[in-house]
Structure 1
Amino acid sequence: PLYIDINTIMKNQILPYSYDRSNLSTGILHIGVGNFHRAHEEFYTNLLLADPSQSGWAICGAMLMPQDKALYEALKSRNGEYTLTVCGRDGNDEAHTIGSLTELLWAGENPEAIIEKIADPATKIITLTITEGGYNTDRATGDFMLDTPAVAADLKRPAVPTTAFGFIAEGLRRRMERSGAPVTILSCDNLQHNGNTARRAFMTFFEAQDTALAEWAKANVTFPNSMVDRITPATRPEDIKRLNEINGTDDKAPVYCEDFIQWVIEDKFAAGRPAWEKVGVEFTDDVTAYENMKLSLLNASHTLLSYPSFLAGYRKVDAAMHDERIVRLVREFMDTDITPFVPAPGDTDLALYKQTLIERFANRSVSDQVARLCFDGISKFPVYIMPNLIKMLSDGKADLSRVAYLFAAYRHYLKFHTDDNGENFEIAEPWMTEADKALISSDNPVDFLGLSAFTATDLSKEEKFVGLYLEMCKAIAERGAMPVLESIL
């Protein structure tokens, strides 16, 4: 044509997958088909399936929750295909059609099919993204809680499970009885030693329900540890509209994420694995150092900036990270509070890693939601904040002002539901207990330090920390989060 449609120019060119889906078979069952999984494991696997020798590693997605219905139907309408937009820090985005999710199952429609898929010896790996709180562990002891109502119900009714533990137990029981084929359960959640946590949770459930299954699992099921990393915001209705306009698509379940991606996995698989190393995944004998670095720097920094930013009125992470006060808070936290206690793995350039984190957080193309970072703090503090805080307290010389400020901001966020501008907001804490609610409602700030999220140590006995924390609580209530932040920078 003699003219060019500017709207066509502005659309991203979508990169198609380069394999024939009809030639694939599923070797992986994934439980929890959320945005992160679709931006991370599916992305790597989508790249890998271009290699014909890897055609047996397509993924079957299993959804267990009633609220998964909408996503299940959206993905089902496109046979599991969806669009992933990778947002570059340089402003250049890249859209991919992901085809690796070749089967979909939803417990609300066909729970038996999920159990049978677990039992099928062709399923060699079961991967999980069930959130930090989904492993149902006591925050003080790390023990799996058998008396949680849903878990207790599954223990009594093995054939009609509702939890991931119940589904996997029933599927593995059939597997044991039929083929005895080994299998790997691979956690992809943000937990220190996530494989160890998964093993403890599932094995405790198995032992309580079926000792024969537990004995079989000890010999035939492995639980590798892994470290996962890719910032992936929630996709809201306005994001769906925006992404479809940019990409020229009509996708009911698109995903967008940052351009950084990392996956480090302990190479301990019971029945074989994909050659993910061909597409950038790193396999190692011990992921501990990688886990500590990522959880203590990225995830802890996310938690640190989330509540002060939200109280200051910020709703987007990139906007908050263009406020020099918040950038300084994060930098000083990483350099002074974390780096002395977290050794870098291998030949990692820690200075470069930290600078990259600042750039990732500030990525305007991703524009992550502060509310997503605030979500479920009860589950995040024990994993991201408490381990390093305990090291700082033991050190005796560490500057506790930034962490005390975080605790005070978190209390203010949970207790008052109002930001510095007078705007009211709702909190989202799905794992909060009735005891937690009572501690939050108390007018004595010290009571808040007994929250279930903090029970790894008795913070109320740490005089230096408590003194700083009480000062911060009073100051935030009187002056607001940002003026108090300025006073400690």
Structure 2
Amino acid sequence: MTTKLSAANLPEITTASVPAYGRGDLAAGILHFGVGNFHRAHQAVYLDDLFATGADRDWALIGAGVRDADEAMRQKLLAQDWLTTVVEQEAGGSSARITGVMIDYIRPGDSAAVIERLADPAIRIVSLTITEGGYYIDPASQKFDPTHPDIAYDAAHMDAPRTAFGLILAGLLRRRAEGTQPFTVMSCDNIPGNGHVTQNAVAGLAALVDPALAKWVRTSIAFPNGMVDRITPATSDRERQLLAEQFGIEDNWPVFCESFRQWVLEDNFPAGRPALETVGVQFVRDVAPYEHMKIRILNGGHATIAYPAGLMDIHFVHEAMEHPLVRAFLAKVERDEIIPVVPLVPDTNLDEYFALCERRFANPKIGDTIRRLALDGSNRQPKFIIPSAADRLAAGQSVVGLALVSALWCRYCFGTTDSGTVIEPNDPSWARLTAQSQLAKDDPKAWLAMTDIYGDLARNHTFVTAFTHALTSLWAIGTKASLEHYLEDRL
């Protein structure tokens, strides 16, 4: 017997904690673009904790989306009064909670409704989780691309823009015209300097409309940097079934995640902010060391295990960590090549941080998949792997392991595992990547010819040599033997 999640049914739910506040007491203070699993397991959970203390209940969330696919999420959440079940899983057990911090979700495509909300003085923060690929960043230069068709469209249609940045800019223009203080724009995505990146996107779009407007954006709007962390797999029927069986709750789109979470923010909120420091958020002067550590060690670690595991037909991340070659490969690449070029972080031991990452990756209850980690390499490799390689090359150091990581990505994009199993498209640029990987089988340099991804590394003799040797090995003897050779310093 299960209970369908809804506001009316909350009193019947005894297997999970429910909101310790009256949702009728909530008022919107944040409009959030990208109501995906990570947002609902992270920012929404921190707000749920805060509201439970009785504080700051004028900071509830309104959701917004810019993709047609966002409507499916909206309909699922609408059917359960915007409530979400969050299940925290560790090896020793699981616990569930119902969060109720979102009180509305604007229909995707309704630009007028989004702008109207953005103009409301009650909205003091606009936050985003639109994934690494949603910021219109040129992979090689890591700079905003003002030539993208989506951006060009918004610049010519500021009355009804389609992108999150166009909507944000339109909302800011409306507020300026009405004499309303600007809201703060807060990215919650895994991007180095995510505040700066978001500022460049909004100001870059503004520059296409009016250079003076771009200057106003850069001087008048706050874009705090932040580091966010919580492993949150995609939701499938597996998670829905587990929730029903273990907790007796029927949720259209539950979120399963680990118990660990971290949020480090610059305290730059001129229009005000909720007191998130009371529920575990770290406010610091400079987020860069924390995000550098997380993106290089944790996200880089994910990329390191994703492709060898995928090529060896391993499904779950914890299963990859149980494979002695994959785990040893991760440890050697991290300790030999990644961690040595990560700057020191205040009050943090980097070796201990990596050990924590290993334990988190090995969590058998999460159900995180290798396919999720391998997703969108064309956007993730330039952020998570290539910068470490560039730093090592600049210091005259070896990149054998990092070049092997890149070669494994190339081999994965060929579209078959070592056993011959077909790999379904797993990148927005899959067709291009597959074509380049096929060329690279005979000429490894063909892969590095994607200079929009590799930048100067494509012309670095040391990297090209290491990559060529690694990819040649993968095709000649396979993933397993290539990992063995690397671990024995024979690659």
User: Shorter-normalised TM-score: what interval?
Assistant: over 0.9
**Match of residue 41, structure 1, among 40, 43, 46:** 43
Pairwise CA distance, 1:466: 2.3
With the length of structure 2 as denominator, give the TM-score of the two structures: 0.93
Aligned equivalents of 1:440, 1:369: Cα separation in 2? 23
Report SS of the residue matched to 1:457.
helix
Aligned equivalents of 1:362, 1:487: Cα separation in 2? 24
**Match of residue 425, structure 1, among 419, 423, 426:** 423
Query: What amino acid maps onto 1:302 in structure 2?
Result: H
The aligned residue for residue 33 of structure 2 is 31
Pairwise CA distance, 1:432: 6.1
Is 2:138–2:145's contact at 8 Å kept on the other side of the alignment?
yes
The aligned residue for residue 3 of structure 1 is none
Is 1:382–1:456's contact at 8 Å kept on the other side of the alignment?
no
Query: Which has the higher mean CA deviation after the structures are superposed, 467-476 or 292-301?
Result: 467-476
Aligned pairs (5 A) from 1:274-313: 274-313=274-313
Pairwise CA distance, 1:117: 1.1
Asked if 1:106 is matched to 2:104, the reply is no
Aligned equivalents of 2:237, 2:484: Cα separation in 1? 36
Is 1:309–1:370's contact at 8 Å kept on the other side of the alignment?
yes
Query: What amino acid maps onto 2:308 in structure 1?
Result: P
| CA shift digits 1:207-247 (9 cap, x unpaired) | 21244543443343100000000000000123222222222
| CA shift digits 1:402-455 (9 cap, x unpaired) | 11211211111112x111122111122115685x66533424111211225533
Asked if 1:94 is matched to 2:91, the reply is no
Is 2:202–2:217's contact at 8 Å kept on the other side of the alignment?
no
The aligned residue for residue 486 of structure 2 is 488
Query: What amino acid maps onto 2:404 in structure 1?
Result: Y
The aligned residue for residue 409 of structure 2 is 410
The aligned residue for residue 173 of structure 1 is 173
Aligned equivalents of 2:455, 2:292: Cα separation in 1? 17
Query: Which has the higher mean CA deviation after the structures are superposed, 110-119 or 268-277?
Result: 110-119
Pairwise CA distance, 1:186: 0.5
After superposition, the Cα gap between the structure-2 partners of 1:338 and 1:243, relative to the gap in structure 1 and judged at 3 Å, is same
Report SS of the residue matched to 1:352.
helix
The aligned residue for residue 240 of structure 2 is 240
Aligned equivalents of 1:454, 1:12: Cα separation in 2? 50
Pairwise CA distance, 1:336: 1.2
| CA shift digits 1:6-43 (9 cap, x unpaired) | xxxxx982011211111111111110000000000001
Aligned equivalents of 2:486, 2:212: Cα separation in 1? 57
Aligned equivalents of 2:23, 2:211: Cα separation in 1? 40
Aligned equivalents of 1:221, 1:465: Cα separation in 2? 41
**Match of residue 474, structure 1, among 456, 472, 475:** 472
The aligned residue for residue 319 of structure 2 is 319
Aligned equivalents of 1:302, 1:22: Cα separation in 2? 41
Is 1:32–1:128's contact at 8 Å kept on the other side of the alignment?
yes
Is 1:379–1:431's contact at 8 Å kept on the other side of the alignment?
no
Asked if 1:337 is matched to 2:334, the reply is no
Is 1:133–1:431's contact at 8 Å kept on the other side of the alignment?
no
Query: What amino acid maps onto 1:351 in structure 2?
Result: D
Aligned equivalents of 1:471, 1:168: Cα separation in 2? 47
After superposition, the Cα gap between the structure-2 partners of 1:432 and 1:151, relative to the gap in structure 1 and judged at 3 Å, is farther
Is 1:12–1:248's contact at 8 Å kept on the other side of the alignment?
no
User: C-alpha root-mean-square deviation of aligned residues, in Å?
Assistant: 1.7
Is 2:232–2:256's contact at 8 Å kept on the other side of the alignment?
yes
Query: What amino acid maps onto 1:197 in structure 2?
Result: V
| CA shift digits 1:345-377 (9 cap, x unpaired) | 111132221111111001010021101111100
Aligned pairs (5 A) from 1:60-459: 60-88=62-90, 90-108=91-109, 110-211=110-211, 213-398=213-398, 400-415=399-414, 417-431=415-429, 439-442=436-439, 443-452=442-451, 454-459=453-458
Report SS of the residue matched to 2:57.
helix
Report SS of the residue matched to 1:126.
strand
Q: What is the identity percentage for the equivalent residue pairs of Structure 1 and Structure 2?
A: 36
Is 2:317–2:367's contact at 8 Å kept on the other side of the alignment?
yes
| CA shift digits 1:237-268 (9 cap, x unpaired) | 23222222222111101001011100000111
After superposition, the Cα gap between the structure-2 partners of 1:453 and 1:320, relative to the gap in structure 1 and judged at 3 Å, is farther
Aligned residues: 473
The aligned residue for residue 5 of structure 2 is none
Pairwise CA distance, 1:391: 1.1
Aligned equivalents of 1:401, 1:488: Cα separation in 2? 8
After superposition, the Cα gap between the structure-2 partners of 1:273 and 1:431, relative to the gap in structure 1 and judged at 3 Å, is farther
Query: Which has the higher mean CA deviation after the structures are superposed, 200-209 or 337-346?
Result: 337-346
Pairwise CA distance, 1:65: 0.7
Aligned equivalents of 1:57, 1:41: Cα separation in 2? 12
The aligned residue for residue 4 of structure 1 is none
Pairwise CA distance, 1:158: 1.2
Aligned equivalents of 2:354, 2:476: Cα separation in 1? 33
After superposition, the Cα gap between the structure-2 partners of 1:215 and 1:339, relative to the gap in structure 1 and judged at 3 Å, is closer
Query: What amino acid maps onto 1:439 in structure 2?
Result: Q
Report SS of the residue matched to 1:456.
helix
After superposition, the Cα gap between the structure-2 partners of 1:426 and 1:117, relative to the gap in structure 1 and judged at 3 Å, is same
**Match of residue 57, structure 2, among 55, 60, 81:** 55
The aligned residue for residue 6 of structure 1 is none
Aligned equivalents of 1:116, 1:37: Cα separation in 2? 23
Aligned equivalents of 2:236, 2:73: Cα separation in 1? 12
Query: Which has the higher mean CA deviation after the structures are superposed, 67-76 or 173-182?
Result: 173-182
The aligned residue for residue 8 of structure 2 is none
Is 1:229–1:262's contact at 8 Å kept on the other side of the alignment?
yes
Aligned equivalents of 2:452, 2:219: Cα separation in 1? 34
Aligned equivalents of 2:437, 2:483: Cα separation in 1? 22
Aligned equivalents of 1:267, 1:245: Cα separation in 2? 42
